[in-house]
Amino acid sequence: MRILVVTNMFSAVRDALENDGVNFKGMPGFLKAMQYFTEKGIEIDCIFTSFVSTDRKFMNSETKLSFIKKEQIKGIVIKDYRINKLTRYVFMDVALLSTVKKALKQKKYDFIYAMTPDSSCVNKLANSMGIPCGVRLYGSFMWRNLKKKGRK
């Protein structure tokens, strides 16, 4: 099974990528889940969003984690707070969708897990391509745009 994870958790995992993956400060639940699935033979690739422009360096450098290698980081989309809020949301959706589309052209994924305030656009893309998508939505003004699947 192959999963694409789209998340804004990069600031929480940055120190784990730079260190040994044992002594890190943020989001052990996210990293432990990634480690568990990798150990079970599930291939996981990641697209991160970040507020720090220098985080793009992780696209070309090795990580210190045994379960997240640089080849698994398919993109780091930077949120630029120098532009106004509405323009930023539109730009983020375009930049994020472009990065996700590129990853989907490179590999076939069985599932997409979107965990970001911008996940509604990822969900729409996944639905249009027939790829199951799990969404953890928080802090989004676009929650009404998500397509409801399943029964009540």
pLDDT 10s digits, 4-62: 999 887 777 777 777 665 666 667 777 888 889 999 999 999 998 887 777 777 766 77
pLDDT in tens, 117-150: 778 788 889 999 999 999 876 655 555 555 555 4
Of 12 and 72, the one with more pLDDT: 72
Q: What was the pLDDT predicted at 80?
A: 67
Q: What was the pLDDT predicted at 81?
A: 62
Q: Say yes or no to pLDDT of 151 above 50.
A: no
Q: Say yes or no to pLDDT of 109 above 80.
A: yes
Q: What was the pLDDT predicted at 150?
A: 46
Q: What was the pLDDT predicted at 14?
A: 77
pTM greater than 0.85 = no
3-state class (DSSP) for residue 130: coil
How many angstroms separate the CA atoms of 141 and 111, rounded?
24
Q: Say yes or no to pLDDT of 83 above 50.
A: yes
- Label residue 65 by pLDDT band (50, 70, 90): confident
- For residue 108, CA distances in Å to 31, 44, 65, 67, 105 come to 23, 12, 24, 20, 7
**Is-contact 118 146, C-beta < 8 A?**
no
Contacts of 148 (CB under 8 A, 6+ apart): none
Question: Highest-confidence range of 29-38, 47-56, 64-73, 77-86, by mean pLDDT?
Answer: 29-38
Q: Say yes or no to pLDDT of 95 above 90.
A: no
